[in-house]
Chain A
């Protein structure tokens, strides 16, 4: 177990709705990343937060947004949900780049979102 917890574990929404997913990072980790994993595929990078600032973003539209709080926990918000947003959303915490030689990410078990 990595110490990264995510909530909710499962949720169902309809097209056009908004969703907020939450993540508590492992103790001592101040960097949080979010990934989207469609069924049968590898995770895809959405964005990363470091010290409450977004410091990197993948190829996702602006309706995907996030926050990081002073305790390093994080939220992923998705507006105007589309059917293709149905996926497993993974949060990963890590030490800052340079503090670990491997760049190891510690993933939570994810929030499975179904959009109908």
Chain B
């Protein structure tokens, strides 16, 4: 099976940098994705790592290390609107697009 663990909650202040970690146990997967979900809203795609290393998309960056079974999402120049839940997810090599999501991290950004 596949399981992904994340810290349940992270707090930070506006303008700061925060890192949300994701450790996983899986036999094989295509890539690691990150999704953001505001309360009452739809999960929205943020980033994807197929290969080891860092992917940068504006204020957000994501990192993957397959050898360490570990990834993280880095959010820079935090804004109040970044307060949301963040999920890492892996797409298994099953032949169809099934995402297995992590436990989720609730980010609270304060003024």
B3-20 with Cβ < 8 A to chain A? 4
Give the total of B residues in contact with A, Cβ under 8 Å.
Answer: 27
The A interface is mostly helix, strand or loop, or mixed, namely loop
Q: Are B33 and A102 in contact (CB under 8 A)?
A: yes
- CB nearest neighbor in B for A56: B96
Distance A44 CA – B87 CA, assembled complex (angstroms): 12
Chain A, interface residues (CB within 8 Å), range: 20 to 34
Distance A94 CA – B45 CA, assembled complex (angstroms): 12
Shortest beta-carbon contacts, A-B, top 5 = A42-B101, A56-B96, A102-B48, A107-B42, A104-B45
29 A-B pairs, CB-CB below 8 angstroms?
A2-B44, A33-B99, A42-B87, A42-B101, A42-B104, A43-B87, A43-B99, A43-B101, A44-B101, A45-B99, A48-B96, A48-B97, A50-B96, A56-B94, A56-B95, A56-B97, A90-B43, A97-B95, A101-B50, A102-B50, A103-B30, A103-B31, A103-B91, A104-B33, A105-B35, A105-B45, A105-B97, A109-B41, A110-B42
